[in-house]
């Protein structure tokens, strides 16, 4: 288990939002991101025949389409222990300061700070 003392209350809220979204949609992943102005975006995995997005990719797409240019934090709730290479690239594109991967129970398995 990763030490969660380095996470602030706002990052804890992102974990709660990502968990709730994942559970509500019965999706493999839930994600929540906070942009540089404090706005929050939440999404789950998108699996259509014509479009596939991870939860983080979908949340970042929502943020970027609302004019976000950087992320203070990103959280992904998933069974995986770490982000995929594609998700790391998306987080890097927006200069994400804190990236958290959390298990479905909300316990962080990985915390990366820039």
**What are the residues whose beta carbons fall under 8 Å from the beta carbon of 49, sequence distance 6 or more?**
none
Q: Do the beta carbons of residue 108 and residue 7 sit within 8 Å?
A: yes
Q: According to the model, what pLDDT value does residue 114 have? A: 86
Instruction: Tell me which H or E stretch contains 93.
Output: helix 85-93
Q: According to the model, what pLDDT value does residue 2 have? A: 42
Tokens representing 29 are 């992943």
Tell me the C-alpha distance between 61 and 17, whole Å. 17
Q: According to the model, what pLDDT value does residue 45 have? A: 97
Exposed, middle or buried: residue 111 (CB in 10 Å: 0-12, 13-18, 19+)? middle
Q: According to the model, what pLDDT value does residue 1 have? A: 39
Mean pLDDT by 10 residues, the chain (114 residues): 65 96 97 97 97 98 97 97 96 97 96 91
Tokens representing 64 are 């970027």
Q: According to the model, what pLDDT value does residue 5 have? A: 52
Q: According to the model, what pLDDT value does residue 69 have? A: 96
């Amino acid at each position: 288990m990763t030490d969660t003392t380095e996470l602030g209350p706002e990052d804890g809220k992102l974990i709660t939002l990502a968990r709730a979204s994942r559970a509500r949609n019965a999706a493999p992943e839930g994600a929540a991101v906070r942009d540089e102005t404090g706005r929050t975006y939440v999404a789950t995995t998108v699996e259509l025949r014509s479009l596939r997005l991870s939860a983080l990719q979908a949340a970042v797409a929502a943020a970027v389409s609302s004019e976000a240019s950087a992320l203070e934090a990103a959280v992904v709730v998933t069974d995986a222990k770490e982000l995929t290479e594609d998700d790391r690239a998306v987080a890097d594109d927006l200069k994400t300061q804190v990236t958290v991967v959390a298990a479905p129970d909300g316990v962080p398995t990985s915390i990366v700070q820039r």
